[in-house]
Amino acid sequence: MTKHKELQLWVKKMANMCQPDKIVWIDGSEEEKQRLEQEAFATGELIELNQEKLPGCVYHRTAINDVARTEHLTYICTKTKKEAGPTNNWMSPREAYKKAGDIFKGSMKGRTMYVIPFSMGPVGSEFSKIGIELTDSIYVVLNMRIMTRIGRSVLEVLRTDGEFTKCLHGKADLDEKKRLILHFPQDNTIWSVGSGYGGNVLLGKKCLSLRIASYLAKEEGWFAEHMLIMGIEEPNGHIEYIAAAFPSACGKTNLAMLIPPEGLKSKGYRIWTVGDDIAWMRIDSDGSLWAINPETGFFGVAPGTNSKTNPNAMATIKKNTIYTNVLLTPEKTVWWEDGDGPIPQEGIDWTGKPWKPGMLDKEGKPVLGANSNSRFTAPIKQCPTASFRIDQHHGVPISAILFGGRRAHLAPLVYESFNWQHGVFVGATMASERTAAQYGKQGEVRRDPMAMLPFCGYNMAKYFAHWLKLGKKMVKPPKIFHVNWFRRDENENMLWPGFGENLRILEWILDRCNNKVDAVKTPIGYIPDPKDIDMTGLELPASSVEKLFFVNKDNWIKELQSQKEFLKIFGKDLPQELLSEWQALKNRLEKS
Ligand code: O2Y
Ligand code: MN
């Protein structure tokens, strides 16, 4: 399928190591998809779902020990440890290739190696990057088919000597002790072995589009970020785009496809979804920032997704969707906790065992039908709010960047940074409190700069410097804001309803970008005058509004200490500008 010599040689070399029985080049056709599905149905790798109720949908279960990204087995393999920085696991390239090579050796005997040419971003766009993933999993091929642009057209753009990221994935024995997710930014290479799930194996997603791309972005002068992109159509028909970075499990997918509340909908607001997870952004010749979503699908968490929390997601996943690790019902439909519809009276749970509601495990805890990280993989274009700009090579112009997290008693509902440098400080010190559903101690604050802690492919101190440097290159940089949809009162009651109501805050943000409203200066940044937030149709007591915007000086002084401890880990590499911002915040708080 290709005359690209380097590609041919690399495929041959990897095949010599993994020893598959067969090599199949993926062309991306519909016929090929049907063939692969039939093959996977025959082996049990996939189960065909009820085609009347869920046309084009299939079901997959992963190994029980393989249900989420494994950050502790994920490495950045740069020549020196310093290049990977203090927040990444590091392994030398020599050791990493040897360790993983030993696991890969002969691991595809009796299996087929699929060669997937894929483009992150529209095929042929100057924003886009090409990858080739070798994998022994049909499940991976079919997921990549939804999440990226694959097949013959990609090879045509690659021609005979184009650059590509070498992505090798093998399931091997699916043994956690022999699982490694390795990134070699200096070789433009990813090796993933011993897993068959999600972010570990769909190598175009977190591995290429964030870890490798963040490194390429630093070298080439652009941004690869863990951000949603959405368009907000204003009553006058003009669409403004924003990008937002929240740590995993803080509602990026819900925000990206929110439904305007009645009060604002009647004004004429409409939402356009460009992406829910990743943004690649470049400074254009007009001096402003333009973004594309390099992906073409959603790999969303099922539990908690329902017609109330996210009706657009529910509409998206009615057809052509891969369901992973959810409950399978006797009529071959799917169900998950906090989903839609009546609880099925029986089913097969995500581990493959018979399940009934109310079942308890040995410790007396409820047995879940769906794994808490069970997923749907669905095409963005099926989303009722999908933007008509998704395939545009040039992307969309970004007016505002939002950072956010869960901070029960600290950050106000929204605040605006004083300028780009201050905004970078706000992003660099961003943090979120763990929920009960997350691994670790509930309520514990996890620093997650720009929501990139698990995804930055190089030293994060240099990443902050890169943000500062690009800020200086923009004539009209986006304004940077911080949002916190999760503020609670003194009795731990949530103060803000979130979901569609968040549009009220986005409206204020855009008004700020367009110099339509003034704001109140506080030590941490600008906050809204509550009268400038349209609350039509939302009954919120005045006391709640006051609490939502309260800047609690004592809590912020405590926060300063925690920020300082975090920034300290970067030592001398930390840009001086961020220390100055920290000191300035301290001075402002002490004076207030
Ligand atoms: O657990 C996984 O393998 C998936 S993690 C994921 C998937 C889609 C979007 N974001 C994330 C994330 O962890 O940020
Ligand atoms: Mn994500």
Of 77, 167, 250, 456, which one is the catalytic site residue? 250
Closest ligand 1 atom to 67 CA: 1
Helix (H) or strand (E) holding 403: strand 396-404
Helices then strands (H, E): number in the chain? 17, 30
Ligand 1 binding pocket mutation candidate from 60, 295, 299 (most atoms within 8 A of CB): 299
Nearest CA to ligand 1 atom 14: 248
Contact 138, 46 (CB under 8 A): yes
Closest ligand 1 atom to 226 CA: 14
Closest ligand 1 atom to 199 CA: 3
Integer CA distances (angstroms), 22 to 19, 108, 115, 281, 417, in order: 9, 9, 11, 39, 56
Ligand 1 binding pocket mutation candidate from 202, 277, 301 (most atoms within 8 A of CB): 277
Closest ligand 1 atom to 277 CA: 9
In CATH, 297-382 is 2.170.8.10: yes
> Pick from 308, 306, 244, 302: which is nearest to 275 by CA?
244
Nearest CA to ligand 1 atom 12: 248
The token duo for 448 is 């997650």
What is the distance between the alpha carbons of residues 302 and 338, in angstroms, rounded to a whole number?
9
Over the stretch 165-174, which tens digit does the pLDDT of each residue have?
999 999 999 9
* Ion ligand 2, residues whose Cβ is below 5 A away: 277
66 lines ligand 1 (CB under 6 A): no
Ligand 2 centroid – CA 450 distance (Å): 12
Ligand 1 centroid – CA 199 distance (Å): 6
Contact 168, 104 (CB under 8 A): yes
198 lines ligand 1 (CB under 6 A): yes
Predicted local distance difference test score (pLDDT) of residue 249: 82
The token duo for 498 is 């979130």
Give the residue extent of every domain in the chain: 5-44+72-220, 225-296+390-591, 297-382
Nearest CA to ligand 1 atom 11: 248
Nearest CA to ligand 1 atom 6: 199
277 lines ligand 1 (CB under 6 A): yes
* Residue 364 neighbours by CB under 8 Å, 6+ apart: none
pTM of the model: 0.98
Predicted local distance difference test score (pLDDT) of residue 41: 98
62 lines ligand 1 (CB under 6 A): no
Ligand 2 centroid – CA 578 distance (Å): 25
253 lines ligand 1 (CB under 6 A): no
68 lines ligand 1 (CB under 6 A): yes
Cβ neighbours, 10 Å, residue 439: 7
Integer CA distances (angstroms), 544 to 76, 490, 497, in order: 45, 11, 11
What is the distance between the alpha carbons of residues 476 and 253, in angstroms, rounded to a whole number?
28
For the chain, percent of residues with pLDDT exceeding 70 = 99
Please, what sign has the CA dihedral across residues 211, 450, 228, 69? positive
Ligand nearest to the CA of 325: 1
373 lines ligand 1 (CB under 6 A): yes
299 lines ligand 1 (CB under 6 A): yes
Predicted local distance difference test score (pLDDT) of residue 81: 98
Tell me how many degrees the CA angle 400-240-206 measures, rounded to the nearest 5.
60
Ligand 2 centroid – CA 248 distance (Å): 5
Nearest CA to ligand 1 atom 8: 299
Closest ligand 1 atom to 276 CA: 9
Closest ligand 1 atom to 299 CA: 8
Ligand 2 centroid – CA 536 distance (Å): 32
199 lines ligand 1 (CB under 6 A): yes
What is the distance between the alpha carbons of residues 158 and 519, in angstroms, rounded to a whole number?
50
Look up the CATH number of domain 5-44+72-220: 3.40.449.10
| Strand blocks (E) in 156-252 | 165-170, 180-184, 189-193, 223-225, 228-233, 239-245
Per-residue pLDDT of the chain (592 residues; tens, 9 = 90+): 899 999 999 999 999 999 999 999 999 999 999 999 999 999 999 999 999 999 999 999 999 999 999 999 999 999 999 999 999 999 999 999 999 999 999 999 999 999 999 999 999 999 999 999 999 999 999 999 999 999 999 999 999 999 999 999 999 999 999 999 999 999 999 999 999 999 999 999 999 999 999 999 999 999 999 999 999 999 999 999 999 999 988 899 999 999 999 989 999 999 999 999 999 999 999 999 999 999 999 999 999 999 999 999 999 999 999 999 999 999 999 999 999 989 999 999 999 999 999 999 999 999 999 999 999 999 999 999 999 999 999 999 999 999 999 999 999 999 999 999 999 999 999 999 987 656 566 779 999 999 999 999 999 999 999 999 999 999 999 999 999 999 999 999 999 999 999 999 999 999 999 999 999 999 999 999 999 999 999 999 999 999 999 999 999 999 999 999 999 999 999 999 999 999 999 999 999 9
Ligand 2 centroid – CA 247 distance (Å): 7
225 lines ligand 1 (CB under 6 A): no
Over the stretch 118-142, which tens digit does the pLDDT of each residue have?
999 999 999 999 999 999 999 999 9
Ligand 2 centroid – CA 530 distance (Å): 32
466 lines ligand 1 (CB under 6 A): no
Look up the CATH number of domain 225-296+390-591: 3.90.228.20
Helix (H) or strand (E) holding 150: strand 149-150
77 is catalytic: no
Contact 449, 428 (CB under 8 A): yes
376 lines ligand 1 (CB under 6 A): no
